């Protein structure tokens, strides 16, 4: 199956996290991402090329972290801890990093469970106390492991992750004293080991802390990220078709020259003029056919391809492509989903939009994946981050003033936001299943205002 999570990453970029989960049988996945862009933004093949699009897209491919509950990780003979304790010397650092990644994922799931209980009106006190107790147990067991540089870095990473998840909870209204005990324990570990921390009066130190936190995150999670060196797809076929185009153009020029020579003889003015015209037409025919073949190829093939590598194994392959699509070529189910729930009913009567399709195909070899790990691996996450700055180039001012008469009969000016809406439809296929989801991206010249799923 395919699991999709979306979020606004920052003021100018959105993120799609797509989990390609194998079920032991189906491992071929296809994703289409349709962008319906208002015509006033003037995004066309001439103003927004493939090269610029790929500059705006950042994709990270990583393993899905093995899933354990926080209680399972904290259990006395829990598998993640046993894997670290029993690791061979050459594998110890790898197992430390993987353990920390599992803890991070388990903490997030437990935090979300507490918030779900809180939002549903249930009492999350029991879940909260287990969260605190299991976290303290994990810290204590981790500190008993053999020490080296990797252990030190992973310990600091754990302190950062636990603090981030804990502070995202409403501490003041949930087991405040127990939370303070957990945070006090982490503070003691920081002091004992000389780890960086935040100080309200040390701006330079805080800058270094943020930098160090980012480096530690990349260091610990580096084993999850997969090698995906991309290269151009369809190059051989493209060159073969271009050669056919050149051959057909040459055939036209040769036939014209032969026909005129046969009719007028050698070295005559009509033959001379015919040769000039035929060579002019030959070049035009070649370019037109190159253009035709290039666009026919892009509809059927991908722009880039890559082999997905884990350690020394190739565990799958990935292909991606981007094209502008005519409205008539948009699939019926995608078109119907786009046309639902217009903000303004008159929109359905005329839609002046450019349609961009970004598509991916992922194929995984589950057997090879399992050979690379002592954990059960479910699949991979493809984290796609899209920079929206090119969408903003031709927008009007983010705020316009509209005049009206107030209650006292005076003319007043009311500031109103000038926003643009980009509709995004995800269509993903695996096996014989097809699913679609629609999002509305609210933009103005200042950047992203919101992104909501349209049910």
Instruction: Match 């066309």 to its residue by tokens.
Output: 44
Find the mean pLDDT for residues 40-57.
91
**Which has more confidence, 307 or 254?**
307
- For 357, list phi and psi in degrees, rounded to 5: -115, 120
**Stretch 375-400: mean pLDDT:** 90
When pLDDT is averaged across residues 333-361 and rounded to a whole number, the result is 74
Mean pLDDT, rounded, for 79-84? 86
Asked which of 188-192, 284-288, 373-377, 439-443 is least confident by mean pLDDT, the reply is 284-288
Collapsed DSSP state (helix, strand, coil) of residue 10: strand
Sign of torsion over alpha carbons 335, 337, 341, 343? negative
The pLDDT-based confidence of 47 (bands split at 50, 70, 90) is very high
> Rounded mean pLDDT of 368-381?
82
CB 283 within 8 A of CB 345: no
| DSSP calls for 60-111 | EEEEPPPP--HHHHHSTT-HHHHHHHT--GGGHHHHHHHHHHHHHHHHHHHH
Closest to 318 (Cα-Cα) out of 230, 450, 389: 230
Instruction: Give the model's pLDDT for residue 374.
Output: 80
Instruction: Answer for the pair 137, 103: CB distance below 8 angstroms, yes or no.
Output: no
What are the tens digits of pLDDT across the range 254-295?
A: 666 666 566 666 656 565 566 566 655 656 555 555 555 444
Residues 333 and 308: their CA atoms lie apart, in Å, by 31
* Helix, strand, or coil (residue 361): strand
Per-residue pLDDT tens over the stretch 151-193: 999 999 999 999 999 999 988 888 888 989 999 999 999 999 9
What is the mean predicted confidence (pLDDT) over 346-362?
75
List CB contacts of 81: < 8 A, sequence separation 6 or more: 73, 99, 141
Least confident window among 123-127, 161-165, 297-301: 297-301
**Of 371, 455, 377, 421, which is closest to residue 62 (Cα–Cα)?**
377
- Element holding 344 (H helix, E strand): none
In the predicted model, is pLDDT for residue 149 greater than 90? Answer: yes
The span from the CA of 127 to the CA of 341, in Å, is 39
Q: Look up residue 289 and give its two tokens.
A: 């056919």
Judge whether 179 and 162 are in contact, CB under 8 Å. Answer: no
Query: Residue 244 has which token pair?
Result: 């056919």
Q: How far apart are the first and last CA of the chain?
A: 20
Average pLDDT over residues 318-335: 86
pLDDT band at 367 (very low <50, low <70, confident <90, very high): confident
Mean pLDDT for 17-37 is 84
pLDDT greater than 70 at residue 93:
yes
Q: Given this model, what pLDDT does residue 292 score?
A: 53
Categorize the per-residue pLDDT at 455 as very low, low, confident or very high, splitting at 50, 70 and 90.
confident
Percent of the chain at pLDDT above 90? 37
What is the rounded distance in angstroms from the CA atom of residue 113 to the CA atom of residue 70? 11
- Average pLDDT of span 311-331: 85
The predicted pLDDT at position 379 comes to 85
Instruction: Identify the weakest region by mean pLDDT among 95-109, 299-313, 322-336.
Output: 299-313
Mean pLDDT along residues 401-429: 90
Q: How far from 296 is each of 4, 282, 285, 292, 359, CA to CA, in Å?
A: 31, 21, 16, 6, 16
Residue 199: predicted pLDDT: 86
pTM as predicted:
0.76
Phi, psi of 431 (to 5 degrees): 60, -130
């Amino acid at each position: 199956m395919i699991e999709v999570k979306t979020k606004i990453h920052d003021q100018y970029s959105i993120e799609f996290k797509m989990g390609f989960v194998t079920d032991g049988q189906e491992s071929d996945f296809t994703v289409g991402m349709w962008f319906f862009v208002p015509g006033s933004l003037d995004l066309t093949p001439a103003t927004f090329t493939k090269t610029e699009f790929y500059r705006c897209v950042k994709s990270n491919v990583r393993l899905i972290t093995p899933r354990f509950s926080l209680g399972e990780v904290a259990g006395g003979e829990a598998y993640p801890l046993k894997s670290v304790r029993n690791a061979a010397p050459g594998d110890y650092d790898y197992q430390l990093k993987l353990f920390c990644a599992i803890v991070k994922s388990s903490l997030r799931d437990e935090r979300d469970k507490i918030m779900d209980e809180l939002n549903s009106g249930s009492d999350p006190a029991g879940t909260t106390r287990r969260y605190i107790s299991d976290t303290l147990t994990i810290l204590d067991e981790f500190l008993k492991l053999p020490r080296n540089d990797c252990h030190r870095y992973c310990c600091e990473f754990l302190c950062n992750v636990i603090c981030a998840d804990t502070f995202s909870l409403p501490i003041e209204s949930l087991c405040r004293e127990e939370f303070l005990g957990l945070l006090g324990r982490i503070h003691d570990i920081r002091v004992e080991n000389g780890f960086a921390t935040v100080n309200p009066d040390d701006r330079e130190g805080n800058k270094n802390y943020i930098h160090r936190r980012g480096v530690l995150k990349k260091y610990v999670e580096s084993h999850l990220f997969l090698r995906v060196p991309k290269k151009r797809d369809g190059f051989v076929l493209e060159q073969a078709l271009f050669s056919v185009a050149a051959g057909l153009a040459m055939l036209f020029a040769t036939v014209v020259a032969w026909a005129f020579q046969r009719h007028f003889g050698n070295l005559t003015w009509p033959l001379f003029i015919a040769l000039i015209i035929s060579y002019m037409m030959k070049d035009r025919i070649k370019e037109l056919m190159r253009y035709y073949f290039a666009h026919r190829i892009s509809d059927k093939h991908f722009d880039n391809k890559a082999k997905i590598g884990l350690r020394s194994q190739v565990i799958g392959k990935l292909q991606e492509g981007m094209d502008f699509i005519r409205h008539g070529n948009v699939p019926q189910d995608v078109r119907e989903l786009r046309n639902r729930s217009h903000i303004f009913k008159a929109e359905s009567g005329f839609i002046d939009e450019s349609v961009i399709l970004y598509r991916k195909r992922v194929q995984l070899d589950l057997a090879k994946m399992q050979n690379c790990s002592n954990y059960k691996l479910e699949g991979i996450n493809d984290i796609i981050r899209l920079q929206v700055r090119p969408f903003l180039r031709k927008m009007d001012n983010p705020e316009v003033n509209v005049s009206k008469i107030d209650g006292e009969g005076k003319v007043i000016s009311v500031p109103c936001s000038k926003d643009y809406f980009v509709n995004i439809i995800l269509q993903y296929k695996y096996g014989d299943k097809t699913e679609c989801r629609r999002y509305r991206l609210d933009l103005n010249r200042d950047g992203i205002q919101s992104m909501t799923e349209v049910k």
